[in-house]
């Protein structure tokens, strides 16, 4: 697998670094190709080459899914205008991924998408839903609550201090204050030793959002957060054996996809899609998708 030559860690005063991680080459250069057709072919070639090296490389030590909550999501956003359905919402289960892997022979732990589901209710879209249907319907009838992440981690023998890295596929609905802690002491860090791997483009966009994005970002979600454990990234990363974090902008400017190489094959996790039907529409049983 090609190693990148450029530094994907963005140097910024007050922010952290993770120089132990490796840049991944190939895809970044492919995205720079001019013209939609040539770019598409270049990205496909680069992705195939990347996969060839990834599948024969190291594997992760373990992967666990940790359910956080179910939530209502507009059907028109989940499948756009394709399905003919009277249901205004689909119900999704939001899960965090716990991944343990080797980095230069040492066990490291990544927690992917550890959303604070209570703080996320300040997201304008959910706040509007509460006003329309009430808190009981929005978060009692339509949502299912699971044990806290801390409790689920404890069941696996892992404390919050054991988490080395945290990442999100994007920052929609996220409030990072309880995750990172704040400079004024209002919030303590939930995972005090974890480095947040944050795409620079989306981190910066959060300060001045496109109007179509405002409904999905918690306005104060990174206000006064402690940034010494925030690592701004600009490209593709190999975290360790069997773990890639690849830039996949689209849903947001900094959307990224986690790939893990396991004994059951290569798996990816991203919210550029909401269900298997998004990835394989020809096999969908939803009328309007399998066209």
Look up residue 160 and give its DSSP letter: G
Residue among 254, 186, 169, 252 at smallest CA distance from 225: 186
Domain ranges of the chain: 58-283
Per-residue pLDDT, 137: 62
Under 8 Å between Cβ of 153 and 159: yes
pLDDT values of the chain reduced to their tens digit, one per residue, 291 residues:
556 545 788 889 999 999 999 999 889 889 899 999 999 999 999 999 999 999 999 999 999 999 999 888 888 888 877 777 788 888 888 999 999 999 999 999 999 999 999 899 899 988 888 787 776 666 666 678 899 999 999 999 999 999 999 999 999 999 999 999 999 999 999 999 999 999 999 999 999 999 999 999 999 999 999 999 999 999 999 999 999 999 988 888 899 999 999 999 999 998 777 888 887 788 888 877 776
Q: Hey, which residues does 179 pair with through a beta bridge?
A: none
Under 8 Å between Cβ of 202 and 174: no
Under 8 Å between Cβ of 164 and 194: yes
Using CB atoms within 10 A of its CB, is residue 287 exposed (0-12), middle (13-18) or buried (19+)? exposed
Per-residue pLDDT, 14: 95
Per-residue pLDDT, 221: 96
Q: Does domain 58-283 have CATH number 3.40.50.300?
A: no
The rounded distance, in Å, linking the Cα atoms of 250 and 131 is 30
**Distances in whole angstroms, Cα of residue 187 to Cα of each of 132, 177, 198, 230, 244:** 30, 6, 20, 16, 30
Under 8 Å between Cβ of 259 and 54: yes
Per-residue pLDDT, 5: 45
């Amino acid at each position: 697998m090609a190693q990148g030559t450029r530094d994907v860690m963005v140097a910024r005063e007050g922010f952290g670094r993770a120089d132990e991680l490796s840049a991944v080459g190939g895809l970044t250069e492919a995205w720079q190709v001019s013209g939609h057709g040539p770019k598409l072919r270049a990205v496909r070639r680069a992705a195939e080459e990347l996969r060839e090296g990834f599948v024969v490389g190291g594997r992760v030590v373990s992967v666990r899914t940790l359910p956080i909550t179910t939530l209502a999501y507009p059907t028109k956003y989940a499948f756009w205008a394709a399905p003919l359905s009277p249901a205004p919402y689909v119900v999704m289960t939001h899960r965090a991924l716990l991944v343990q892997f080797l980095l230069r022979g040492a066990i490291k732990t990544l927690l992917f998408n550890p959303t604070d589901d209570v703080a996320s209710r300040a997201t304008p879209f959910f706040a509007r839903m509460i006003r329309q249907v009430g808190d009981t319907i929005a978060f009692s009838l339509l949502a299912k609550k699971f044990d806290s992440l801390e409790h689920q981690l404890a069941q696996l023998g892992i404390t919050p201090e054991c988490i080395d890295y945290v990442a999100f596929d994007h920052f929609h609905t996220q409030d990072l204050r309880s995750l990172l802690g704040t400079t004024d002491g209002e919030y303590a860090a939930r995972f005090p030793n974890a480095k947040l791997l944050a795409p620079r483009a989306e981190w910066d966009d959060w300060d001045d959002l496109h109007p179509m994005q405002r409904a999905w970002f918690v306005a104060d979600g990174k206000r006064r957060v402690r940034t010494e454990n925030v690592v701004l990234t600009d490209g593709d990363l190999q975290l360790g054996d069997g773990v890639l974090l690849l830039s996949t902008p689209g849903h947001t400017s900094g959307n990224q996809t986690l790939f893990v190489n396991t004994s059951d094959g290569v798996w990816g996790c991203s919210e550029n899609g909401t269900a298997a039907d998004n990835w394989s529409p020809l096999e969908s049983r939803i009328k309007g998708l399998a066209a």
